[in-house]
Amino acid sequence: MSSRTTRPILLAGPDAVGFANAQLTSDVLSLATGRWQWSGWLDPKGRVRALLQVARLDDGLLVLPRGGDGEALANDLKRFVFRSKVTVTVLGASHVADGDAYDDGHARTLDDGTFVFGEGDASIHVGRRDDADAWVARHVQKGYAWLPDEALNELLPPALSMERLGAVAFDKGCFPGQEIAARLHFLGGHKRHLRIVESDAPLREGRSLRIDGRDAGIVLMHNASAPKLTSLVVLDDALSQADTVENESIRLHVLSTFAA
């Protein structure tokens, strides 16, 4: 089994940080060299086009898409460059692999070109090494989503727990989709959130969760390596209090819920 891949994007040039700060949801201006932060790129309606990890390196910003087509994302970003002095370069497809403990929020580049994102008790390595997604179990437990194609441009920031991750800043100026994101932040009312569920059969990533004949959520990540099958899903709040729910003959048991 091969690991999932991503195509990192490099933003370089004197305006790279300012450009990223104007487009992405996080406070990129506050990001120090050798550090990384959670971020995202929203459409004008506030839906998440991309969930990202952004690292500030010596030669610019590395933008790591967690799901989706990195080349398409880079091309879309280029449309907003205008007169900014920034280059947008999509790198080659890279495997995501498990790594040893490395300081939380710290980032670096290894001699072989591998990018390292520290999580404290572990890290992820983005490069040539393929470890068959050994990191997925940890990210399911931490609520660190990876978006299947079916979830792109469909979910609002609270559904992915983006504020909990520090991926959205409301005091840094405007960014695409800010009005909707701010309304949800200050007024609440979003009825779908990120949850871990245990199932009695494997769940396909990107599968729509239909409960009682209606769309109630989506499967983002599935960990099939553990004795018990666990998945990171977005699920309607109305179902979170139930001990078990039925999804087209598959029983789901809600184990935990993440704050928005």
The series of mean pLDDT values per 10 residues for the chain, 260 residues long, is 86 97 98 98 97 96 97 97 96 97 98 97 97 94 98 97 97 94 89 94 93 90 87 89 74 91
What are the residues whose beta carbons fall under 8 Å from the beta carbon of 130, sequence distance 6 or more? Answer: 2, 3, 95, 97
State the pLDDT at residue 240.
63
State the pLDDT at residue 179.
94
pLDDT digits (tens, 9 = 90+) for 36-74: 999 999 999 999 999 999 999 999 999 999 999 999 999
What are the residues whose beta carbons fall under 8 Å from the beta carbon of 7, sequence distance 6 or more? Answer: 65, 69, 70, 71, 74, 90, 91, 92, 93, 94
DSSP state of 238: G
State the pLDDT at residue 211.
84
User: Could you tell me where in the chain the CATH 3.30.1360.120 domains are found?
Assistant: 5-162
User: Could you tell me where in the chain the CATH 2.40.30.110 domains are found?
Assistant: 191-257
- pTM for the structure as a whole: 0.95
State the pLDDT at residue 242.
66
97, two tokens: 């692999």
Dmax over CA atoms of the chain, in Å, equals: 55
Closest CA to 232 of 135, 134, 144: 144
* CATH T-level fold of 5-162: Gyrase A; domain 2 (3.30.1360)
SS3 63: strand
State the pLDDT at residue 243.
66
Instruction: Assign domain 191-257 to a CATH class.
Output: mainly beta
Q: Are 195 and 256 in contact (CB under 8 A)?
A: yes
State the pLDDT at residue 241.
67
